[in-house]
Amino acid sequence: MYYGPLHYNISTTIEGDPGVELALIALRQDIQANSLVMYFDIGNAAITLSPEQKEIVAKMSRYIDKANDNAVIEIIGHTDDIGDWDSNVKLALSRANFAKEYFVENNILETKIKTTSKGPDQPIADNATEEGRSKNRRVVVTIN
């Protein structure tokens, strides 16, 4: 009768391998240059991610999984300026938490994710137009 392991996992990478480290540096730079931005409809805190957005999530997941640094995924929720400030701050946090839940569902530890809300305080476009407001209803995801 055999009592040994049924499966073996063999790592072919060596800790401190410069090739692996360079690949991680390149991946981090790519993620930082191409932040994940999710845009939301008025009053909504959930969306369906596009294939491109899902690829960025996969890259972030790979980086967080492989990196030995203290990298954290930072998720910042934003809104337009329609409505009262308190409601917008809560909505922006709900949007950030939607993104956080998506990352957790894709095997990123909750302890590696930080969410914040800026509400309407950091617009990137003019809130006087619908086009501008639609750009301001967003979540920005980066790696620190």
Answer whether 118's CB lies under 8 Å from 76's CB. Answer: yes
pTM of the model: 0.84
Which pLDDT belongs to residue 5? Answer: 47
Does residue 4 register a pLDDT over 90? no
- Parallel, antiparallel, or unpaired for β 73-78 and 138-143? antiparallel
Give per-residue pLDDT as tens, 23-39.
Answer: 999 999 999 999 999 99
Q: How far apart are the C-alpha atoms of 35 and 75, rounded to whole Å?
A: 10
Yes or no: domain 39-143 corresponds to CATH 3.30.1330.60 = yes
Give per-residue pLDDT as tens, 65-84.
Answer: 888 778 999 999 999 999 99
Q: How far apart are the C-alpha atoms of 141 and 144, rounded to whole Å?
A: 10
pLDDT band at 3 (very low <50, low <70, confident <90, very high): low
Helix H, strand E, coil C: the string for 9-60 is CCCCCCCCCHHHHHHHHHHHHHHHHCCEEEECCCCCCCCCCCHHHHHHHHHH
pLDDT band at 9 (very low <50, low <70, confident <90, very high): very low
Mean pLDDT over residues 97-104, rounded? 97
Which pLDDT belongs to residue 44? Answer: 96
Answer whether 60's CB lies under 8 Å from 143's CB. Answer: yes
Q: Which of 53, 60, 54, 61 is nearest to 37 (CA)?
A: 53
Answer whether 78's CB lies under 8 Å from 139's CB. Answer: yes
Mean pLDDT over residues 95-102, rounded? 98
Q: Which of 18, 11, 38 is nearest to 102 (CA)?
A: 38
Residue boundaries of the structural domains of the chain: 39-143
